[in-house]
A and B are shown apart, each in its own frame.
Chain A
Amino acid sequence: MAETTYNDFVIRFANVNGSGSASANGMFAKALFRMGIPVAARNIFPSNIEGLPTWFEVRVSEKGYAGRREGIDIMVAMNAETFAEDIESLVPGGFLVYDNSKELDVRLRRADINRIGVPISQLVLPEFPNPKHRALFKNIVYLGALSALISIDFDVITGMVSAQFKGKDDLIAPNIHALEIGRNYALNYLDCPLPIQVRYSDAVGDRIMVDGNAAAGLGAIYGGATVCAWYPITPSTSLAEAFEKYCNQLRTGKDGERNFAIIQAEDELAAMGIVIGAGWNGARAFTATSGPGVSLMTEFLGLAYFAEIPAVLWDIQRAGPSTGMPTRTQQGDLLAAAYASHGDTRHPLMFPSTPKECFEFAADALDLADRLQTPVIVLSDLELGMNDNLSEPFDWDDTRRYDRGKVLDRDALEDIEAFGRYVDVDGDGIGYRTLPGTHPEKGAFFTRGTSRDEYAAYTEAPEAYTRNMDRLLVKWETARSLVPAPEVHDEGRRAAIVYYGTTALPIPEALDRLREDGVELDTMRIRGFPFDEEVRAFIDRHEIVFLAEQNRDAQMKTLLVNDLAVDPARIDSVLYYGGFSISADTIYEQVSDYFEARKLPRLRAVSGRRDGAASAGEIGS
């Protein structure tokens, strides 16, 4: 028997979509989380409601590694259709948990894995006469068996069942019974526990477990959004739904008045139009969509850029182009978002990496859009948006006031001689705006997508058009220092890796593995576009710069080249675009290959400290 390991494995549940497995699998992850063990759960699901294969994968890591790791240690194989490939995906020495009510086909047997048969169908048959219940409780039975096999505190699970079915008390007893059936079978007939186990830890600390979309919906409430218009599209739907759920809880007044308006629009064009109409009239508004929706919103985004109207758009990216892989993750919309629209157009972008950042950026984006009077696009992805992630708890400063930007109220209008909507009074490229209905005599202007002069009067004069386009560039420079700054860890090494969004998840693990090989890298996590001056400086300071991202065309590299005139030869891309979340293995291998291909010694001589570099320390962000 192998040496026992604790809190360090990958378990995958193979199920049939629509079979009720999500609840049992979610309880598994939550139980470990409640035992203080860091977990990262990933739902790998098809574009389907019922019948197709679905997987739920949990990375359990005492060290807190949250990225995906290749290879499965424990496979709970409940789907006959994918049985063969599921068995194939186990690492040598791994454990196959399966329903042995029927004997395992000899062709599927692997000599290098451990088979753990639990006769689940036979066990539930006499206990649950209703066939529908029987199917559902199969999932609970394997959860019970796992509790014995890997030493999950049984009280934690039963406590969760009781909490989950509070109010539907007649469901508590049969669920606990099903758990006990599985647990007792394992304790009586199987070698329990396995050498892969869990035990109580304090590694979670006070962190919470939540998906990025829920965090973003909540953050939009704290940031003062009152209008949300959206159209259903995976993987963004749950963001608008979370906004509605939390609005019902947190934004409903004593007399039942709802201090928010949510419109499920007829399409993404209308969703963006509603947001722009609301922004024009002074309400904080946002929409959430994915790549195909961004394509449809593009004309409106150009209007809002040119007419200078605040708007916030969450793009929860999925694998494109076209319908692509709608339930798989990717970072493939950077260029589409950054330059959405015809003509010379640019939009500020934000790249959150954690649910806490989703919460914060949701509020910050509303401030930023008002300050810059332009659409701000937050680029999340399916990996962050739809999976439960460990996150630092949300935090809000009650003294914070919304930055509504340059809006003239009635009194301010009284005091000024002549109002010009597009006059650059302060030299930052941002004019003063007024809201409809503010003043009987002053401040009214006509908003248009056509060319106009500083006083909002229609003109096709080349000088006026050019002046306006150049002022928008001044505003772009203003945006540079207002978007989130990069997070930099520079210890004076000669090589570095740059990344953003969910590519951050496997980075700590990849860095640890590279360090074991003698490759040490400084890091920079980009959080905003246009780029802060520090982004260029960081690249300039390093001889070798890797840029890891999850798309085919190295889109962030293109943005760096366009926005900072970085020499493209200075950046070596680490790319993954297969639709799963990028793994530490991928990053490790591609960085290692770089050193091998150039016959560079994988030593600190190359990847280590720069000549004359300052001693170790962090350059803050």
Chain B
Amino acid sequence: MTFVAKPRVHHPQLPLNDLGLTRRDYEGSVSTLCAGCGHDSVSAAIVQACAQLSLPPHRFAKVSGIGCSSKTPSYFLSHSHGFNSVHGRMPSVATGSNLANRDLYCIGVSGDGDSASIGIGQFAHIVRRRINMLYIVDNNGTYGLTKGQFSATNDKGSTSKKGVPNLYAPIDLVSMALQIGATFVARSFSGDKRQLVPLIQAGLKHEGFAFIDVISPCVAFNNHNGSTKSYDYVRGNTGNVIEADFVTPGVEITADYEPGTIEDVAMPDGSTLRLRKLDEQYDPRDRVQALSHVQRAAEEGEVVTGLLYVDPDASDCHEILGTPSTPLNALDESVLCPGSDALERVNASLR
């Protein structure tokens, strides 16, 4: 396999965003995943979300672990640095990166094997630490690169391609994130770009830890009749609690949703998160209710999607640590080195 660069030629009629850039300026290299892979749709949604928000395409830190999902940071935002690290450890690398430079947008892409099995400890702890980032799990319920073993998010009774049933109960990362205190929790479906793109935009603008679990069918190993993570199953068993739309201070981006109760949530940077409730009783700012709603739906075999929980007043790790507004990686000797006079005082205290 070799690295394939996409030609940097734009169609002259592609729309320009506020930075004068087109969607193509937010793309990455050509994907090496299987044709029809849900993960490529997630990458495309990231491209669209960032282009629409007119974010500078070089001001991202893209981090990932190991697996099909973790390859995808190559396939979007090629003007930004990416780091494909080790299996299950993306959260720690993301933490270090964010501590070093708080000014960059951080997108972490992981998979169900990466986050729910080998990396479940790191997943839990990055939620606790409230790193300001968008954490996406491309969730297909299977280990693709090693040819189709069950992952920990696979539903009990769901079958493999050969018809063998999964014997173990699934881990639901959404419930886990809610329980540990993530301040933005959503679930979506790679085949539903209309829902996914605004969620990504809102997650990027969330000043705290934003988590999106994206059901992303594996066309090679987990898209058959017995699977609960196939295109057909997810399309037929999805319940949307809420539609989210994201509005920048200037222009509204998309506005063709079905009517419903609308609630605008002001985001810290002046933008607006517009929520369109489909279920009148659902309050996306009630964490406990979100948790019970997700789990009750799961018992009935329904996958709840949409923005499940958001705390618009969230804080992040830098706020907890009291770090300066200047990124730590931009501080020099004048700030970092206390100098020889201070050292003499330390010496005196040790005599």
Contacts and interface: CB of A to CB of B under 8 A. Distances in A.
Interface in B319-351: 321-325, 328-329, 331-333, 335-340, 342-343, 346-347, 350-351
A397 B340 contact: yes
Contacts of A401: 333
B33 interface: no
25 contacts: A222-B343, A224-B333, A251-B336, A253-B335, A259-B335, A261-B318, A263-B95, A265-B92, A266-B125, A269-B122, A273-B85, A273-B91, A273-B95, A274-B92, A281-B61, A281-B96, A283-B328, A402-B333, A435-B329, A436-B60, A436-B81, A441-B79, A446-B73, A447-B82, A458-B1
A400 B333 CA distance: 9
A261 B97 CA distance: 12
Contacts of B122: 266, 269-270, 273
Nearest to B3: A457
A395 B342 CA distance: 11
A261 B321 contact: yes
Interface string B97-135: 111110110000000000000000110110001000000
Given A259-B336, A457-B2, A445 B121 contact: no
Interface string A225-254: 011010000000000000000100011010
Contacts of B335: 253, 259
B316 to A, nearest CB: 12
Contacts of A460: 1
A90 B132 CA distance: 61
B58 A278 contact: no
Contact of A281 (B56, B324, B329, B337): B329
Contact of A250 (B83, B121, B338): B338
B343 A273 contact: no
Interface of B: 1-3, 56-61, 63, 73-74, 78-86, 89, 91-101, 103-104, 121-122, 124-125, 129, 317-318, 321-325, 328-329, 331-333, 335-340, 342-343, 346-347, 350-351
Contacts of B74: 446, 458
Contacts of A250: 338, 342
A446 B95 contact: no
A227 B96 contact: yes
B138 to A, nearest CB: 18
A229 B37 CA distance: 37
B221 to A, nearest CB: 22
Contacts of A262: 321
Contacts of B321: 258, 261-262
Interface residues on A, range: 35 or more
Nearest to B21: A440
A277 B3 contact: no
Contact of B89 (A34, A269, A394, A461): A269
A437 B59 contact: yes
Nearest to B64: A448
B295 to A, nearest CB: 25
Nearest to B324: A257
A282 B340 contact: no
B322 A257 contact: yes
Interface string A420-459: 0000000000000011111111001111111001000111
B337 A222 contact: yes
A227 B321 CA distance: 11
B230 to A, nearest CB: 30
B2 A263 contact: no
B32 to A, nearest CB: 9
Contact of B100 (A266, A269, A285): A285
Contacts of B104: 281, 436-437
A278 B97 contact: yes
A257 B323 contact: yes
A282 B101 contact: yes
Interface string A24-41: 000000000010000000
Contacts of A272: 92
Contacts of B336: 221, 224, 226, 251, 259, 402
A226 B89 contact: no
Given A259-B331, A270-B89, A282-B101, A396 B340 contact: yes
A131 interface: no
A258 B322 CA distance: 6
Nearest to B339: A398
Nearest to A402: B333
Contact of A274 (B3, B95, B323, B338): B95
A267 B95 CA distance: 14
A71 B260 CA distance: 86
A343 interface: no
B328 A227 contact: yes
Interface string A192-217: 00000000000000101110000000
B56 A278 contact: no
A595 interface: no
A572 interface: no
Given A266-B125, A398-B339, A277 B97 contact: yes
Nearest to A270: B92
With most chain B CB atoms within 10 A of its CB, the pick from A273, A307, A394, A434 is A273
Contacts of B60: 436-437
Nearest to A281: B100
A275 B96 contact: yes
Given A218-B346, A259-B324, A447 B89 contact: no
Contacts of A221: 336-338
Contact of B84 (A258, A277, A393, A446): A446
B151 to A, nearest CB: 20
